[in-house]
Structure 1
Amino acid sequence: MELARQLNREIDPSFWDLVTLAPIFAIGFPVCRFFLDRFVLEKLSRKSVFGTHESKLRKLSDADRDALRKTQTKFKESGWKCVYYTTAEIFALYVTYNETWLTDSYSIWVGPGDQTWPNQTIKVKLKLLYAFAAGFYAYSIFALIFWETRRKDFGVSMTHHVATFGLISFSYWTRFARIGCVVLALHDASDVFLELAKMSKYAGVRVVPDVLFGLFALSWVLLRLIYFPVWVIWGTSYLSIKAINIHLHRGYGPIYYYVTNTLLISLFVLHIYWWVLIYRMIVKQIRAGVIGDDVRSGRVQFFFSRIVLFSVFINWWKHYRF
């Protein structure tokens, strides 16, 4: 009870919160990943990826062994990301649970009490969530260089990590932590399904990746293409003007307003672009696959289309993920 009371205590946010707490999480993440790799993911990946090849590993060719080991490494990397995104999503839901600003966009800018932005207090648990996320992406920058497998999308991934860390820091500094918390929750939910789908694919499972990809696609549409613009962008672009006396913030107010909304709208445009790109690639590949298959077999077409759907998406994600 005492811990819950402390986590729900209202405090005045300061940028020094991230400066002091984020490095602690950034140091803690590689430690957690090391033990998770060593005692959980290593065994799980060998059992999932090698399977029946475990006892015959020495008899396989060097190329086959290298391929399996690379797949094992990818499995462990996705496993680590899945653990983080799941934890972050649960954390974000815990922070937003029972908060009026989760369902009422107006409450983002007003409350508690007669407080209005930027003179609003936040709860300790929201501060910790921001430090948690900032620490993860700070760690991810170094992990991408020194730990993880170097892939073709290295530059894109690095840009993503640096930009995300910057956005998290900027939103906390400008006291947009409430809206930032919701954005984190919306995006982490989809990533959980994506990483689970990757792990299932690396393990050679046939049906599960299709189901998980379907959940990922559904969550993408609902959270990023519907809820994000209707709730988040509407709240920052329109309701913020109604809720806040703009005459009191003539200096920095317009700058924060236009920068924040430009970034959020740009992100939404990217969501639409990526979805259109995925859809076009899926349709193209399915049509190409159906032509080459026996059109008399409905089952073959259905099975092939699901496999192509997932494989095309994974290949797309490696090259175009944000």
Structure 2
Amino acid sequence: MPESAWKFLFSLGAWSYSAYLLLGTDYPFFHDPPSVFYDWTPGMAVPRDIAAAYLLQGSFYGHAIYATLYMDAWRRDSVVMLLHHVVTLVLLVSSYACRYHNVGVLVLFLHDISDVLLEFTKLNIYFKLRGGSYHRLHGLAAAMGCVSFSISWFWFRLYWFPLKALYATSHCSLRARPDIPFYFFFNALLLALAAMNLYWFLYIVAFAAKMLTGQMRELSDLREYDVAEPPGPAPGKAEEPLRNGLVKEKRL
């Protein structure tokens, strides 16, 4: 629960700030994706409000690499999650250095909303069963959050991300400046990000299939291991500590 609460608060604040930049200011990047490369020049000045967003996000993903390895619960997709954090941090640092910050803000906006809804859903799953009773309000919020998360993942990451961000970086960038530097490097990383989005969408599809076929009756995270599943250590053998602070339950 503390892990999800921290991620929810950060994602909500980060996405709200990105939404303000793209929808509440004069930046036209969301409604006009090709504009991310209008007047682009090497070494151009980075606006302070965008630089603040980069500092915030870069700090988070630098910490997230450490947290995934040593703090967070280890899940079935933790290796992919670690790769995602590394790719994102490399994109943040390199895009800032090469002054592709306009694209960076757009990419962050299209991705963070799903994290907000995911952690909101997980928090309500944890809250609905507490004190020995079922809290119906949290159960309803978890169900609504799950539906909203699934829709947002498809719409923002699998539809708008290729339509807006990838279109701008792969096509519009060459039209604005045919000799634009690091073209293949940045597009390769963004395509890797799109592939990971598709990988996690398969978890969403698998979850929906299990719910519709009755294999699952309560919302749960399919990525999480059941601590009762792994067998205990052999008799007389010292118990090895698990990664990320997990504790093995003793089997009776």
Q: The TM-score by the shorter chain falls in which range?
A: 0.7 to 0.9
**Which digits, 9 at most, give the CA deviation of each residue in 1:199-235, with x for residues without a partner?**
0000123221110011111111111111111111111
Aligned residue number for residue 240 of structure 2:
none
Note the C-alpha offset of 1:257: 0.8
Aligned residue number for residue 226 of structure 1:
159
Aligned residue number for residue 29 of structure 2:
101
CA contact (8 A) 2:8 2:115 kept: yes
Aligned residue number for residue 244 of structure 1:
177
Structure 1 unaligned regions, length at least 5 = 1-74, 291-303
Q: Secondary structure, in 3 states, of the residue corresponding to 1:103?
A: coil
TM-score, length basis structure 1? 0.60
Q: 1:151 to 1:215 in 2, by over 3 A?
A: closer
Aligned residue number for residue 144 of structure 2:
211
How far apart, in 2, do the equivalents of 1:231 and 1:100 lie?
Answer: 12
How far apart, in 1, do the equivalents of 2:40 and 2:162 lie?
Answer: 23
How far apart, in 1, do the equivalents of 2:14 and 2:99 lie?
Answer: 20
**Which digits, 9 at most, give the CA deviation of each residue in 1:118-145, with x for residues without a partner?**
3533310111110111111222233445
TM-score, length basis structure 2? 0.75
How far apart, in 1, do the equivalents of 2:5 and 2:192 lie?
Answer: 30
1:116 aligns with 2:40: yes
Q: 1:136 to 1:273 in 2, by over 3 A?
A: closer
Q: 1:198 to 1:169 in 2, by over 3 A?
A: same
Report the count of equivalent residues: 214
Q: 1:201 to 1:281 in 2, by over 3 A?
A: closer
**Which digits, 9 at most, give the CA deviation of each residue in 1:35-88, with x for residues without a partner?**
xxxxxxxxxxxxxxxxxxxxxxxxxxxxxxxxxxxxxxxx11111110000111
Q: 1:241 to 1:193 in 2, by over 3 A?
A: same
Aligned residue number for residue 194 of structure 1:
118
Aligned residue number for residue 263 of structure 1:
189
**Which digits, 9 at most, give the CA deviation of each residue in 1:156-195, with x for residues without a partner?**
4433333322221122122211111111111111100100
How far apart, in 2, do the equivalents of 1:150 and 1:275 lie?
Answer: 19
Select the structure of larger CA radius of gyration: 1
CA contact (8 A) 1:140 1:161 kept: yes
Q: Which amino acid aligns with 2:5?
A: G
Q: When you count helix as a share of all residues, which structure comes out higher?
A: 1
How far apart, in 1, do the equivalents of 2:165 and 2:175 lie?
Answer: 15
Q: CA RMSD in A?
A: 2.4
Q: Secondary structure, in 3 states, of the residue corresponding to 1:203?
A: helix
Q: Secondary structure, in 3 states, of the residue corresponding to 1:163?
A: helix
1:282 aligns with 2:208: yes
